[in-house]
Amino acid sequence: MMIVAAVLFATAAAASAPAATSTEGMPANCPLHAEHMKQAAAASAVEHNHDTFGMATEATTHHFRLFDDGGAIELRANDPQDTRSIDAIRKHLKSVAADFTANDFAKPLFVHGKLPDGVPAMKEKSTAITYRYEEVPSGGRVRITTTDADALAAVHSFLRFQVGEHKTADTGQVER
């Protein structure tokens, strides 16, 4: 009986004590700790890898928009006076449009550490997709267009992947 009481007391004390935390501030006994750490590392890598293109993640805003005929990758400086970021954005998106036109998707592979959804089909349907750089206030956009249904599905898959990876406020729904 004494042993049972001691076990119950120890169990109750452990349950009421604050959970031990890992160095990352997450409960060390979380059954999904490894997955949480993997997701945090991936998000950090996306931000860090994107920063290597000359613009800081916290100084810019991404949007990935889906349209009936394709979509757009938009990037703008948060401060319209931040000419350094604006210039870097425009240079980056011009090169993205040129790379994608050449069927080169190395940049998104580098940023995300994996090939984004939709890319294999976009590469296969490359002659049916057009990538055009456009300047917008405080930044730029890569406008993606197609009339091919399979290519359109791939472009939308690619853009939805980007919405999730960059954690934008975009809906991933086709805009009219």
3-state helix, strand, coil in the chain (%, to 5): 50, 20, 30
pLDDT by residue, tens only, the chain of 176 residues: 444 344 333 444 444 444 444 444 445 565 654 544 444 444 444 444 445 456 777 899 999 999 999 999 999 999 999 999 999 999 999 999 999 999 999 988 887 688 988 999 999 999 999 999 999 999 999 999 999 999 999 999 999 999 988 888 899 999 97
Q: How many CB atoms lie within 10 A of CB 80?
A: 12
H/E run at residue 124: helix 119-124
Say what the pTM is: 0.70
**Domain segments of the chain as ranges:** 42-168
Edge-to-edge order in the sheet of strand 60-67: 129-136, 139-146, 70-77, 60-67, 174-175
The helix/strand/coil state of 77 is strand
Query: Which residue, among 161, 147, 64, 158, has the nearest Cα to 119 in the 3D structure?
Result: 158
